[in-house]
Structure 1
Amino acid sequence: MDRQGSLTALRRAVLEFERAHDVGPDSWCVALSGGADSLALTAVAAALRPTTALIVDHRLQPGSAEVAAEARERALGFGCVDARVVEVTVGTAGGPEAAARTARYAALDDARRGAVVLLAHTLDDQAETVLLGLGRGSGPRSLAGMRAYDAPWGRPLLGIRREATHAACAELGVAPWQDPHNADPRYTRARLRAEVLPLLEEVLGGGVAAALARTAAALREDTDTLDDQAGHLRADIVEDGTLETARLAGLPASIRRRVIRGWLLDGGATGLTDKHIRGVDVLITDWRGQGGVAVSSPLRGQRMFAERRDGELVLRREPV
């Protein structure tokens, strides 16, 4: 794509996203880091409707406050109606990347004031997400990647290559911030970006990132269909918060595990993995009187267990 066409392509992508999804008639927010992807998205979004830039300062690097302040000034220069810097404290749960992501999303959710938040994930980010899910064996839901719209989060650039956002910044005459974490080999995603994807492109003759994104889209369609079927079944099978194991046992595995997942989420479980769901599934398919399966609970100081009692699956909580 030539440089002069990059902003036009990004604007078209955001307009198509706006037409395809119910994001409300008024304003929206953009998550702005100061990097090329979010700078280009902010410039385009601000030209289409009243836009508030939300800049999360993770305070993980020296000079992060200055980077955030510069991003704020650029957002206002692009025509944003407001630009706010939100400082966060990053924990340690799940490792540095996951902890930063958790803190960032929580801060954005608190600051958005009911508006949709546009995120500048590109097709390249989608490809990296699919590879991460593949390497972790976390099932089709992870391989399905990121959704274009998962309220309140909107990702209008999932069909845009990263090179186009850099070209758009050149067209705008701005030099994006280069996050040193993106080139730090201690971070898994950074190594995927710098080493794995380029190698795959070389070995397979190019087009790998786009192919991975297409794979995610196809899996997401299948997953949505199966989730819908499982949701209707769950409404019939769940009674007083319990699941009848006899009715579950006869279901296809892909549907049964989705019923289990929905039941766990309805019961307050968080951070579910494929391993959690398969562990609970064993209580139905290979019942030998074993104990319950621990699943994540949102309540500090408590653990949640899925157990089998008298032919039913029940949820139990106990203090840590």
Structure 2
Amino acid sequence: TPLICAARSGDTTAIQLLTQSMTTISTFDREYYINQKDIQCKTALDWAAYHGNEAAIDALLGAGADATPTDRKGKTCLHWAAYNGHTTAVKKLLTHKVFDTPDRMGRTALHWAATHGYSDIAHALLEAMPSEQKIYYLNHRDAEGQTALFLAARYEHPEVIALLRLYGAPDIPNTRGETAVTATAKKNKKTALATLMETGIQDVPDYAGRTAVSHVAENGLLGALQTLLANGAHDIPDYTGKTGLTWALEHHQFGCVKALSEYWQKNTPKLLQLAEIDRDALQQAEQEFEATVKKRHIQDTQPSLQEEKNDLQ
């Protein structure tokens, strides 16, 4: 329709003229026309929100546009305004009591604000939500079991993490049993990991009893391990009795072996015995590490056989 075309192109003047001309038709016809959808199932208001066109949003809402219809992806005008970072447009929609509902991915506008790091939009959405519903809003998980906090940590947006934690967002595991702490640690996202732990979130075991410390030790992510230990995480055994130190030893992650052995010795000398860690295995691993370093040094300093042949010729 001409109205949708004007909204898609951001022609505010045309939108205002078209909405003003609707005053002469019946309420039924006006509502039908203003809420018509295009091939993408988007209304004129969806496009105005998509582009952050505040004047167009005012004109359409003033003419009776409905803010609740969803497009093919299940997104409303509020989703699109939040998705594209249009803070003022989001606030304008919220003043008209537009409610934040999940799209087909199970994500709310808060999820999309957290994904893209729009802390101002996340704050506006949370402030507009009634107090008694805030905790349910923060706890809402998408189709993959990810909360807004999980997504903010996944995409490493520390400001959004801090904001959500200020409102009391908990670290709820996703459908794979991973918490935000575990997920960020496994991806070696140290900034997000530090922010999570500094705001009071603990490293808790997953469904297998493994902590983030255990996972990063297995994969040799020394930076993430140091961040965890520096923020109060502990190396506790999983359901099979393995600690992070055990995993590091088994996978020859010698940097993590050193960091964890120092951690254990510093905290309690008896921890190594309580976890049934073989001290001889630890010593052997350290010797292997030193031998490997020495061997690589010799290989790097010795000339190749081909170089020697060239010298003889």
- Greater Rg over alpha carbons, structure: 2
Same fold? TM cut 0.5: no
TM-score (norm 1): 0.22
TM-score (norm 2): 0.22
